Structure 1
Amino acid sequence: MKSLFKYSAVALGAAFLTLLGYHITHEQTVVYTPLQPNTINTNFTPNTTTKAISTDFTTAAEKTIDAVVHIINTSIETEQRSRNFMEYFYGRSSPEYPRVGMGSGVIVSSDGYIITNNHVVEGATTLEITTNDNKKYEVEVVGKDKNADIAVLKIKGDYNFPYVRFANSDNTRIGEWVLAVGNPYNLNSTVTAGIISAKSRDFSDYDNKNQSFIQTDAAVNSGNSGGALVNLNGDLIGINTAITTNGMGTFIGYSFAVPSNIARKIFEDIVEYGNVQKALLGVNGNGLNASFAEELGIQETEGFYVAGLEIGMGAQEAGIKKGDVIIRIDDALIRKFSDLTGYLGSKRPEDIVDVTVFREGEKLLIPVKLKRTPFINYYGMRLRDMSNKELENYKIKSGVYISGVQNRRLSIRGIKKGHLLISVNGESISSKDDVLALNEESINELEFMNTNGEKMRFIFE
């Protein structure tokens, strides 16, 4: 189980956001004191003809439970222990033991494609799923997006499965009823209900990832990761990913789901292209609030303030300027940074979007063609392609440039910004697309070149 953030709140006490893992808790006895009604005088006439909205969840539940699967992730871990002097020369195998993790997944096509969370399947030696009728199937990982925490699986063999249809998550509304379907604590096909509490919820201050979640109060617990969040039609609006907890990993009121538009785009990219096609607008800046707007001397308190532009990217070429405030992209309102990243997360390179900005009190509509991100994240490294001039300066025929290192195993070995990655598992690397085609989990050898032209090779057990 992963912890994403900690925060303080008067009503909740100390709590933190965690990916849905595996915990056990004890029931507590809660004593409720009934409130005494107070009689007050009102100066308005109550509306006595308001119709109650239907809260019949049976149709949505019946359409969903057969398409939500239980995922069993078995990995082999090696016990870490100190080694004596002789073992370094003659070797001695460390004890290995199986580790079993469990989560949920959603079948999204009749031929057995499944969307789940990346953290549900990460590190798996073998993966197995169980459907609602207790049948077991082997699955394979088709692709992943670690930043979005989404993985795509495929059931091996030819079958015809029930599946959940995608809804347009942009059309969801705060206050709308939703169902969470998954397998908490191995309780298969559990359905809980709640409402959408917020949209475009962002936790980048805690995990350095620009994500945009749907927040709900549907009860979600350990084992729900990768399960379905559906509307009352039984259509998929999100993939349940994280919860707020009391430190024990148990649900205390709020859960968070990757919007279906983002999950669907990742799924389609992986199936069609083999990797995720990330599109960039090419702007830098911050979401606005009252204090930031006052500091900038502008009237707008909502939107995305453009503090800079990336040269050669779509925004700069289309005429967006520093100081513009982006308030809408197509039909999506942009009130904060996560609105921007959430909407762009459903787009591909070469897509054209209509960007509405405020500029010196005037509202402008600017069409922008999105471009491919020049960077990829791989094995804790931020990589980009190299120009012919750069290759010439490094006196090398192929390689990719390292613009950042977050992998501690590499950084403590001296790998840093400015170095080149030139081969993986003995295979030369010519572009970031070559890197994307390689499975991170099968890495056993990396070769680098530093700024002095010296090559460094690391072999991982």
Structure 2
Amino acid sequence: MLRSIAIALLVLSSPAVAETQVPTSQTEIQLGFVPVVKAVTPAVVNIYARRVIEGRASPFADDPFFGQLFQNFGAQRPRVENSLGSGVILASDGMVVSNYHVVGQATDIRVVLNDRREYDATVLLADEESDLAILQLTGAEDLPALTLRDSENVEVGELALAVGNPFGVGQTVSSGIVSGLARSGTVTGNTRGYFIQTDAPINPGNSGGALVDTNGRLIGVNTSILSRSGGSNGIGFAIPATLVRQFMEQARAGATKFERPWAGITGQPVTYDMAEGLGLARSGGIILSDMHPASPFGAAGLNPGDVILSVAGQEVNGPAEMIYRMTVAGIGAELMVTAVQGGVQRDIAVPMQRAPESPPRATLTTGARAALPGVTLSTINPAVMAEYDLPLTASSGVLVVDPGEIGARAGLRAGDTLLSINGAEVATSTDASAALERARGRLALDVQRGQRRLTMRFRL
């Protein structure tokens, strides 16, 4: 009997019996990713980018005062910065998505496919805030591309594969699961948004690579990790594919700058204590604290003090989530917002629109006769507020776009808001320029800088 069992085991383990088969069910796919990897990796590319930075060796180069005194100190030393990352082919004609921090400011981009074909690339659309960039490969055609999956259907616990070029060792695939959704405020740098969290190992060089499901569909673009050592600790973040689709559509339409719908509101998450005071059954949602007069939410009937519970049928628990929902809907769409007003729950349709250019920004540069010549000014309007990320408290006044040489030496900074000049309020760039030309003997500027209000006084 034992001899028969041993012979049977030898037969089962022999090479003649072993056979590689394509998985035919979800269960079999979970046991082996070979078919998925073969389908996905041709559409994931390696990106080599570089930019040349012209700069002086002077340690005072960035100082507005000493930089002028030592402007000829040291010789020009061009510096080359190289970056290595990954990308995902979105269309057969060579449209590729990657991270802004990989290619956003590059002057030379080279893309290498999995089959070792190489292409030059140009940036069609890039956005630092979202950390996304759309590239076009020169002369590419009939390339393999990934299908984008609706990120709203992604669930925690799904198996996921991360594909990229970590540490420049070559294309690598790592596996894990979707660990969390609706992650915001967890990524460093200038990136702000809404992320998919995964424990699939992501390392430097994986940035811009693909996070795919077991059907080979793109669910996100790998962007960053949380790590003290610089290596993967199992906490990685990917930008949802739904947002990538919005970038792709705007790039196809010829946009050179990514546009988001404008909200014109501020708010904060509703905590447990706040929910009790507002008469809500549970915590969650956003309570509106301030609203611009031109806000589409205000035009739709919402007011400060109202609580937004969901947008487009999806619960929102913070401003980043709501902005994400608005962004993926796109300008021209209409979102259904569920809100609580005076204890009554209502569904309100809110149009998604651009920040209005009213009043006109009327950008100008002060002339030689002005007390501060060479200062570039713009009238603040909703479009200016959105472009320069100004708070709603800075909804009026004149923005200092560029302080110029003399303005910088006087202490002005780009992003400052001029409220009044010599005691007279200024509402437009024309008002500010005229006031600077009239100034004689003395100059007093009331300036809003972030959360601080400053008064600058000068003798002329």
Same fold (TM over 0.5): yes
Cα distance in 2 for partners of 1:113, 1:356 equals 37
Q: Which runs of 5+ in 2 are unaligned?
A: 1-25, 61-66, 368-376, 391-399, 420-431, 438-460
Say which structure is richer in helix: 2
Cα distance in 1 for partners of 2:300, 2:55 equals 56
- Answer with 1 or 2: which has the greater Rg: 2
Cα distance in 1 for partners of 2:299, 2:378 equals 29
Which secondary structure state, in structure 1, belongs to the residue aligned with residue 226 of structure 2? strand
Which secondary structure state, in structure 2, belongs to the residue aligned with residue 322 of structure 1? coil
Match of 1:417 in 2: 416
Cα distance in 1 for partners of 2:361, 2:203 equals 53
Q: Aligned pair in 2 of structure 1 residues 349, 52: CA closer, same or farther (>3 Å)?
A: closer
Identical pairs, percent: 28
The reply on whether 1:62 has 2:61 as its aligned counterpart is no
Cα distance in 2 for partners of 1:279, 1:213 equals 19
Q: Aligned pair in 2 of structure 1 residues 189, 301: CA closer, same or farther (>3 Å)?
A: same
Match of 2:303 in 1: 321
Cα distance in 2 for partners of 1:208, 1:158 equals 32
Which secondary structure state, in structure 2, belongs to the residue aligned with residue 253 of structure 1? coil
Give yes or no for contact 1:59–1:232 (8 Å, CA) kept in 2. Answer: no
The reply on whether 1:387 has 2:359 as its aligned counterpart is yes
State the AA in 1 paired with 2:292.
E
Match of 1:261 in 2: 242
Question: In structure 1, which of residues 192, 199, 204 is the aligned counterpart of residue 181 of structure 2?
Answer: 199
Match of 1:128 in 2: 110
Give yes or no for contact 1:184–1:221 (8 Å, CA) kept in 2. Answer: yes
Which secondary structure state, in structure 1, belongs to the residue aligned with residue 309 of structure 2? strand
Matches within 5 A, 1:311-390: 311-374=293-356, 385=357, 387=359
Q: Aligned pair in 2 of structure 1 residues 298, 332: CA closer, same or farther (>3 Å)?
A: closer
Q: CA deviation at 1:350?
A: 2.2
Q: Which runs of 5+ in 1 are unaligned?
A: 1-50, 375-384, 421-448, 455-461
Cα distance in 1 for partners of 2:140, 2:119 equals 11
TM-score calculated relative to the size of structure 2 = 0.70
Match of 1:111 in 2: 93
Aligned length: 363
Q: Aligned pair in 2 of structure 1 residues 284, 77: CA closer, same or farther (>3 Å)?
A: closer
Give yes or no for contact 1:76–1:125 (8 Å, CA) kept in 2. Answer: yes
Which secondary structure state, in structure 1, belongs to the residue aligned with residue 273 of structure 2? helix
Which secondary structure state, in structure 2, belongs to the residue aligned with residue 232 of structure 1? coil
Q: CA deviation at 1:304?
A: 1.5
Deviations 1:345-373 (A, max 9, x none): 20222211111122344321111111213
Q: Aligned pair in 2 of structure 1 residues 244, 205: CA closer, same or farther (>3 Å)?
A: closer
Cα distance in 1 for partners of 2:208, 2:240 equals 12
Give yes or no for contact 2:167–2:205 (8 Å, CA) kept in 1. Answer: yes
Cα distance in 2 for partners of 1:373, 1:386 equals 9
Deviations 1:59-95 (A, max 9, x none): 322221101111001222456523899x969786423
Cα distance in 1 for partners of 2:187, 2:242 equals 23
Matches within 5 A, 1:266-285: 266-274=247-255, 275-285=257-267
Match of 2:215 in 1: 233
Give yes or no for contact 1:147–1:209 (8 Å, CA) kept in 2. Answer: yes
Q: CA deviation at 1:236?
A: 0.9
Deviations 1:150-202 (A, max 9, x none): 11110011421101111101110111111111000113221111111111111
State the AA in 2 paired with 1:66.
P
Question: In structure 1, which of residues 304, 312, 316 is the aligned counterpart of residue 286 of structure 2?
Answer: 304
Q: CA deviation at 1:292?
A: 3.6
Cα distance in 2 for partners of 1:72, 1:352 equals 40
Q: Aligned pair in 2 of structure 1 residues 451, 211: CA closer, same or farther (>3 Å)?
A: farther
State the AA in 1 paired with 2:49.
N
Cα distance in 1 for partners of 2:178, 2:71 equals 60
Say what the alpha-carbon RMSD is for the aligned residues: 3.6
